[in-house]
Amino acid sequence: MIGRWRGGRFERPSNLSIVGISVILLVFSSIYGFILDAPSENPLEHSQRPTILFSIINALFISPIVEEVGFRFFLTKFSVNKFIISVSILLGYTVSIFCNLLQIELLDFVLIETSYDVVLITGLLMFLLLLLFRSVLSRIETFWDQNFLIIFYLISIFFAFLHIRMDNVNVSNFIIEIASIVPILLFSFIAGFIRIRYSIIHSLIFHSCFNLPMVLILLLLLV
């Protein structure tokens, strides 16, 4: 249990538990990153450098912003505005993942693992649609607050699920691929704790730190 609403206030985990688990998680992140993304011995072609540079920017800034706002901005006492913003980006992000999986490109602008053109288009459409139902959405406040823990865990699990490398999953490596998302699931829980206890900015910074091992690997490729 991460806590519960009591008297209109969310009871959160202690600072010590968050820091301790975060340190362990970052260690797992380093091992996970170096095992899966270790640089090969092949020399880096000059034409690949722009892609590597974008990957670094994506890992440190773009991806943390999109994922934190989409998956965790609304993880607080119910707010219609936060709900609309998060759900719009969350749905856009989810659609982009499946577009990449099915190799569908809307604007021939596919970047890394997420088609940000799809996030933008789908997110904007969902944002406008949800605005039309703003008054209806306000009615779910009681349900949201009473079932916040369930929502928290479902969102965290869904975040981890979307990070499974679907194109690599087959019978022979299914267990390995499922096990590989354990660090992502732990990260999702901790980032949620941090968002609830502190702010979305703190969880965004934590997200960037979690991506640091991958950034270090990419920097090695540029050397």
% of residues, the chain, pLDDT over 70: 63
Number of independent structural domains in the chain: 1
User: In degrees, to the nearest 5, what angle opens at C-alpha 35 toward C-alphas 34 and 39?
Assistant: 60
pTM over 0.85? The answer is no
| Model confidence pLDDT, tens digit, residues 182-201 | 888 989 999 999 999 889 99
Within-domain flag for 62: yes
Residue for token pair 């722009």: 50
| Model confidence pLDDT, tens digit, residues 198-209 | 899 999 999 998
Phi/psi for 114 (5° steps) reads -125, 130
| Model confidence pLDDT, tens digit, residues 72-131 | 999 998 999 999 999 999 998 888 877 766 665 544 444 444 556 778 888 889 999 999
In the predicted structure, residue 36 carries a pLDDT above the cut 50? no
Helices 182-197 and 148-161 cross at an angle (nearest 10°) of 140
What is the pLDDT, as a whole number, of residue 94? 86
pLDDT classification of 169: cutoffs 50, 70, 90: low
Phi/psi for 50 (5° steps) reads -60, -40
Number of residues written out for the chain: 223
Within-domain flag for 24: no
Within-domain flag for 78: yes
Domain span holding position 186: 48-222
Q: Which of 40-44, 65-69, 124-128, 179-183 has the lowest mean pLDDT?
A: 40-44
What is the pLDDT, as a whole number, of residue 50? 60
The residue among 217, 209, 222, 187 whose CA lies nearest residue 71 is 187
Within-domain flag for 214: yes
Share the mean pLDDT of the chain: 75
Choose between 32 and 217: higher pLDDT: 217
In the predicted structure, residue 174 carries a pLDDT above the cut 60? yes
Contacts of 174 (CB under 8 A, 6+ apart): none
Within-domain flag for 121: yes
Within-domain flag for 165: yes
Give whole-number Cα distances, 33 to 157, 167, 178, 218, in Å.
20, 18, 16, 11
